[in-house]
Structure 1
Amino acid sequence: MAKKKMNAFYAQSGGVTAVINATACGVIQTARANKDKMGKVYAGRNGIIGALTEDLIDTGKESAAAIAALRYTPSGAFGSCRYKLKSLEANRREYERLIEVFRAHDIGYFFYNGGGDSADTCFKVSQLSESMGYPIQAIHVPKTVDNDLPITDCCPGFGSVAKYVAVSALEASFDVRSMALTSTKVFVLEVMGRHAGWIAAAGGLIEEHGIPVVVLFPEVAFDEAKFLARVDALVKKHGYCTVVVSEGAHHADGTFLAEQGTKDAFGHAQLGGAAPVVANMIKKGLGYKFHWAVADYLQRAARHIASKTDVKQAYELGAAAVKMALKGHNAVMPTIDRTSDAPYRYKIGMAPLAKVANVEKFMPRDFITADGFGITAKCKRYLMPLIQGEDSPTYKNGMPVYATLKNVAVAKKLPAFDLK
């Protein structure tokens, strides 16, 4: 008797990126190419919440053209969420509910596309499902603009954010340079990065274009006196300078420059406002005129300037996740394994989730200059391949053509579940 084909569940988690839908495209297209081995692909509406509430989307109702268009569409096509499942001990009912939904819909493959928290969820599901007598092959698909997942050389989403930040900082610096004689002396750009300074590091690439730049990393405790002295020296030498500050920049005691005293859904300190803090510090301490900006959602939604390398890797990791599942792998994550900087080469590897979940990758100290305000040649060799190439969407009437899916719901089979 032929083995029953199992369906797959795919969900997007956390902050979305310019290329997370390219990963979804890779997952769905690869599953469709292996329809003799894998059944339907259901997506969770609004991430893992869709699984808990049995709010599933039948991706089989979408045309091949619509799925292909995901490769060029930013944000999360099925909806994402910031919903952290508690530990098995604290809330076993949520994990058991996931297994119940998977069982009800003949789901044997779980593809969770996200960062560190989703890697942890994926790992726990793989462990619990076995003990409940309904084994699930749980594959974590990496995604995070913060680039802070371990083992993999880089994370899909990061290359495009790095490209956006580098280009935006360069263009704004040209503006400041042209006005420096009679107006603005300092431009401050705030970028994402709670604990790791990878995105801020990308701003340091403008130094290659002769721009005087100061970068503030979470990995280096902020020293106001040293910072102001550095800014003052650059302005006196060049007439202006640009500051790129990570949202996670903090004082020696660990207090964030941008801390608001509130928490997000994952229990992390709510950040936002490092740029005005730094800008006002410059005004008060040095008297220079300034402008500041917060890249915020713009940096992670900018599909029009996405890195071709990033789009390609995002798709490949989605496809690799399906292939790994079909080969019987479980509790793993496909990775980017760099083999050469120049020419840039890499291969797709695989990491056990036990070594990925709840582990953050920070900027190596030898990627940051001795004074703590810039990036080294080694860091530049790391970053440059990741921002290479353009993979622009099609334009119509001056605007990019992005996909909006039908997202047809799958009929529910279970009683409602209360999210507590």
Structure 2
Amino acid sequence: MASGTLLYAQSGGVTAVINASAAAVIAEARARKVKVLAARNGILGALREELIDTSKESAAAIRALAHTPGGAFGSCRVKLKSLEADRARYERLLAVLKAHDVRWFLYNGGNDSADTAWKVSQLAQAFDYPLTCIGVPKTVDNDLAVTDTCPGFGSAAKYTAVSVREAALDVAAMAETSTKVFVYEAMGRHAGWLAAAAGLAGQSPDDAPHIILFPERPYDEAHFLKQVKKTVDRVGWCVVVASEGIQHADGRFVADAGGGKDSFGHTQLGGVASYLAGRVKDQLGLKVHWTLPDYLQRSARHIASRTDWEQAQAVGKAAVQYALKGQNAVMPVIVRTSDAPYRWRIEAAPLAKVANHEKKFPPGFIRKDGYGITARARAYLQPLIRGEAYPPYGTDGLPKYVALKNVAVKKKLPAWEE
């Protein structure tokens, strides 16, 4: 039996399959007789010494966790600064780790979380504390460097493609006397992966989505409106998918919500679909409907991709294995070995190569006219949404999800204050 405790935490926006990674972490650690604590609400829970004893959960509950959306232990958007700038926080974190004999720290999140895990590994080295830090990948934006894809993206991509195809059938049915244009807003601050996934909904030029607006291309309103009119004239109706992060040529977000910035330094976005709908109505005089799926994109566990679900568990299991082998400051990443048939494996990548490196949507994946995806993009995206991983359903017709007990561990240190 390995000596010490493993601390797991979730960070950033949760996904439909982040709990599948959590379940795999706990199951693999249990198989190796290692106790797992979970921090309540990410790194905040570690700082506040609000830790959860996962050993109080039954095996059945952990199995059910694998098909439950949300973040079972809570998440947060808190980014630690450098060791020098955030020294008090780091010293407090180290005190908590020592108090609970934590020897392995697994942080499940995106780019900023990889950065935090990397900084914690540096902290342990600076204070000569035996700690192995592992980043566990998660994001719906698919913008993590090094890994071919990121758990969470495939399910959100599947939800997007399915939703756009279904909505398009609705618009087509109503176009003669009602809605001519439908605008769908996809998540994606700087990278257009999710907007691109909508392109899987159609095959031919006249299939929806007819127009995709990527954050990688400047928004040109006059050209956009011209494309909408041409599509309506040719097809009879038009479906537009716009990334929330599209920008004007001068770099201003089209959908800056004016809500300031979060602790990660991200501008609060939202409303690009309603804005575009208004412009189409005012400038072209067409009836428009729009939607902002927002959290629905990342919480839709009922339509999760099996590929995504399996990869989420694979990185969780590998994270524990790497940790117990002492592979410090690494992240289990997905390596694609074949498109057709789709093949992949898990490898360890240095956190230093992942943290603070954003993977943009490749130029070669965007159609020459800037409004759709190429065959290369389709070949990349298609395998990621394949397969179904439906949750079990109850007699009430709703999915059966689990709520963990989340029994708190007794605190050993004085209360933490900023």
- Report whether the alignment pairs 1:416 with 2:411: no
- Give the unaligned 5+ runs of structure 1: none
Q: Give the AA of the match of 1:297.
A: Y
Q: 1:384-417: CA deviations, max 9, x gaps? A: 0000000101101100000100000001001111
Q: Is the 8 A contact 1:137 1:325 kept in 2?
A: yes
CA distance in 1, matches of 2:232, 2:87: 57
Q: Is the 8 A contact 2:164 2:209 kept in 1?
A: no
Secondary structure in structure 1 of the residue aligned to 2:261: coil
Percent identical residues: 63
Residue correspondence of structure 1 range 208-227 to structure 2 within 5 A:
208=203, 210-227=207-224
The equivalent of 1:347 in structure 2 is: 345
The equivalent of 1:76 in structure 2 is: 71
Q: CA deviation at 1:4?
A: 6.2
The equivalent of 1:295 in structure 2 is: 293
- Report whether the alignment pairs 1:322 with 2:320: yes
CA distance in 1, matches of 2:96, 2:158: 40
- Report whether the alignment pairs 1:107 with 2:102: yes
Residue correspondence of structure 1 range 169-248 to structure 2 within 5 A:
169-208=164-203, 210-248=207-245
- Give the unaligned 5+ runs of structure 2: none
Q: CA deviation at 1:86?
A: 2.0
Q: Give the AA of the match of 2:416.
A: F
CA distance in 2, matches of 1:69, 1:208: 36
Q: CA deviation at 1:379?
A: 0.2
- Report whether the alignment pairs 1:165 with 2:163: no
Query: Aligned pair count?
Result: 414
Q: Give the AA of the match of 1:268.
A: H
Q: Give the AA of the match of 1:215.
A: I
Q: Is the 8 A contact 2:164 2:208 kept in 1?
A: no
| 4+ long deviations beyond 2 Å | 209-212
Secondary structure in structure 1 of the residue aligned to 2:185: strand
Q: Give the AA of the match of 2:351.
A: L
Q: Give the AA of the match of 1:314.
A: A
Q: CA deviation at 1:212?
A: 4.8
CA distance in 1, matches of 2:179, 2:128: 65
Q: CA deviation at 1:288?
A: 1.0
Secondary structure in structure 2 of the residue aligned to 1:292: strand
CA distance in 2, matches of 1:360, 1:159: 18
Q: Is the 8 A contact 1:212 1:238 kept in 2?
A: no
TM norm structure 2: 0.98
CA distance in 2, matches of 1:4, 1:337: 29
CA distance in 1, matches of 2:249, 2:136: 35
Q: Is the 8 A contact 2:198 2:209 kept in 1?
A: no
Question: In angstroms, what is the RMSD of aligned CA positions?
Answer: 1.0
Q: Which one of 108, 124, 128 corresponds to residue 129 of structure 1?
A: 124
Q: Give the AA of the match of 1:416.
A: A
Secondary structure in structure 2 of the residue aligned to 1:363: coil
The equivalent of 2:334 in structure 1 is: 336
Secondary structure in structure 2 of the residue aligned to 1:215: strand
Q: 1:253-303: CA deviations, max 9, x gaps? A: 111111022212322111010001111111122111100000101110000
Of 154-163 and 283-292, deviating more is 283-292
Q: CA deviation at 1:89?
A: 2.0
Q: Is the 8 A contact 1:212 1:234 kept in 2?
A: no
TM norm structure 1: 0.97
